[in-house]
Amino acid sequence: MLAPLAAFSQPAATMKVESGSGTVISRHIYGQFAEHLGRCIYDGFWIDPKLPVPRQGRIRMDIVNALRKIRIPNLRWPGGCFADEYHWRDGIGTPKNRAKMVNTNWGGVVEDNSFGTHEFLELCKLLNCEPYISGNVGSGTPEEMSKWVEYLNFDGQSPMANLRKQNGHPEPYKVSFWGVGNESWGCGGNMTAQFYSDQYRRFATFAKDYPNAKLKKIAAGASDFDYNWTETMMKNVGRRMWGLSLHYYTVPTGNWNKKGSATNFSEEEYFNTMERCLRMEELVTKHSAIMDRYDPERKVALVVDEWGIWTDVEPGTNPGFLYQQNSMRDALIAASTLNIFNNHAERVKMANLAQTVNVLQSLILTRGAKMLLTPTYHVFDLFKHHHDGKLLPVRLSAPDYRLNGKSIPSLNASASVDKDGVVHVTLVNLDPSREIILASDFGAGSRAFTAGKILSSESVTDVNTFEKPETVIVREFNAVAKKGNGYEVKVPAHAVVMLTFR
């Protein structure tokens, strides 16, 4: 029996964790994104050998080791918008002979192509994650894409397989996740949905499956609320794709010309940001409902391969580099979004936060030899226990967080059980000032609460800096008490909590 709401003087909530239907929360929901943009690749993952940090070749190993700890499952590359102006043959062979180009999308800087196909796949090997490559549809050709796939995946005698061997990699890379264009409605070619759906069919025809290297083709999907795009793709492409993407960014002010500061914001702006973030629930629900009509068996994945908060850049930094700080607010966005994805795991089988290092909602920021883990990184650390767990649906009844006559749910949650029978529950309290008392059975049955962790700090504007990198970090959490057949948890204001039951 759950305690009645009236029993509490503080805001109270109840939660019922149900037994699952077998839906698996794919670890690929926890994917990352690394574009040739600002300081994500260059001066991020890929460094000047003179920088005094551990490295393998030019790959920065403190970053690799931090990402291995949170077990990132896949890395999307080379874009983003960059993907549709990237010609892969510029990025293979002897580095000093590689063509230089201008990165027209991101700051007009020189791209020297020193980080190309082999370097990316070496990085994925070090990270122990799967590569997710976005092919060029916008300014490329079916032939160019076809040859890239042959170069990567064919194990035999062919012009491209031989070239790969000449370049030092006899074995095929067996890349599986394959993006057919990016944002084809915008920077990827300004196409209509109908035109792109035909282009997808054409390009995808020549992106071949080679023996033991079957592609999971992911079509460029809708932006935000563009349901017509999803409808058109499902109607004209349907099961010819493994996944259909969706991009949605949380812009604090809702105004792309003045998005709002990453660190300096009022409670009103905080509220509006969280309200926008939670729209992911509506987006996933409505895009999925369209997909359900054409694919009731849910074979085609919804792949949210760009998401996160997008603010104004840090003052004094290159506006084309999209470098932004990361606060406790970002952590609450990440955790709430991941809870939404978990709860829709029957359709959302993959997602990619934008972007891993030094760009947008980063996991990691660097300055010279220094590196810090952002609050968002710590969320991925807490949530890694959901990877490939079986979803346990939650029924939540919680008070609203209200401001200026508007309201949003204060609490969100998801739960899973892993292969050893351990239950993990992640809770987010978005209310910036009120603790919530939650009564729940936690679906634990005879299981007992064993451990709790919390990510919180004094203010939602708190950040980790190079001088103080441990302001927002994970700590032990014990405000869990046995109550009747269940437990009572005091979830502090603006906090992310992870509970374990065995």
Interface residues with ligand AHR (CB under 6 A)? 35, 79-81, 182-183, 306, 354-355, 360
Q: Which is nearer to ligand AHR, 35 or 488 (CB)?
A: 35
**At its nearest, how many Å lie between ligand AHR and the CB of residue 44?**
14
Q: What does the CA dihedral 457, 460, 466, 469 come to, rounded to 10 degrees?
A: 20
CA distance 15 to 376: 25
Secondary structure of residue 125 in the 3-state scheme: helix
**Min dist. Cβ of residue 257 to ligand AHR (A):** 15
- E strand segments, 269-405: 301-309, 348-354, 364-367, 370-373, 390-392, 394-397, 400-403
Q: What is the DSSP string of 195-243?
A: HHHHHHHHHHHHSPPBTTB--EEEEEEEETT-HHHHHHHHHHTGGG-SE
Closest approach of ligand AHR to the CB of residue 179, in Å: 10
- Cβ proximity to ligand AHR, 37 vs 496, nearer residue: 37
Residue-wise DSSP of 142-153: HHHHHHHHHHHH
CA distance 411 to 342: 15
Least spacing, CB of residue 313 vs ligand AHR, in Å: 12
| Catalytic position from the list 150, 183, 281, 488 | 183
For ligand AHR, the closer of residues 359 and 373 by Cβ is: 359
Q: Which of 400, 372, 426, 388 is nearest to 62 (CA)?
A: 372
288 Cβ neighbours under 8 A, 6+ residues apart: 302, 344, 347, 348
Active site residue 267: no
- Shortest spacing between CB 250 and ligand AHR, in angstroms: 13
Q: What is the smallest separation between the CB atom of 321 and ligand AHR, expressed in angstroms? A: 11
**The pairing of beta strand 59-60 with beta strand 109-111:** unpaired
Residue whose CB is less far from ligand AHR, 88 or 249 = 249
On the CB side of 229, how many CA atoms lie within 13 Å of its CA?
A: 23
Nearest residue (CB) to ligand AHR, 170 versus 254: 254
**CA-only gyration radius of the chain, Å:** 23
Task: Report the C-alpha gap between 311 and 272 in whole angstroms.
Answer: 13
Q: Could you tell me the smallest distance in angstroms from the CB atom of residue 244 to ligand AHR?
A: 15
Closest by alpha carbon to 117, among 101, 135, 143?
135
Cβ 148 to ligand AHR shortest distance, Å = 19
CA distances from 470 to 54, 161, 373, 400, 455 (A): 22, 48, 8, 31, 11
* Helix, strand, coil share of the chain (percent; to 5): 30, 30, 45
- Considering the complex, state which of residue 361 and residue 461 has its C-beta at the smaller distance from ligand AHR: 361
Structure tokens at 321: 């580099």
Find the shortest distance in angstroms from Cβ 252 to ligand AHR: 16
Which one, 15 or 193, has the nearer CB to ligand AHR? Answer: 193
The DSSP symbol for 111 reads: E
Q: How many CB atoms lie within 10 A of CB 397?
A: 15
- Which of these, 497, 501, 305, 301, lies nearest to 412 by C-alpha position? 497
Give the residue with the Cβ less far from ligand AHR, 334 or 496.
Answer: 334
Number of H helices, E strands in the chain: 10, 27
Of 306, 346, 470, 488, the catalytic one is 306
470 is catalytic: no
Residue with the closest Cβ to ligand AHR?
80
Residue 55 or 87: the one with the smaller Cβ distance to ligand AHR is 87
DSSP 464-486: --SSSTTSS-EEE---EEEETTE
Which residues are the active-site residues? 183, 306
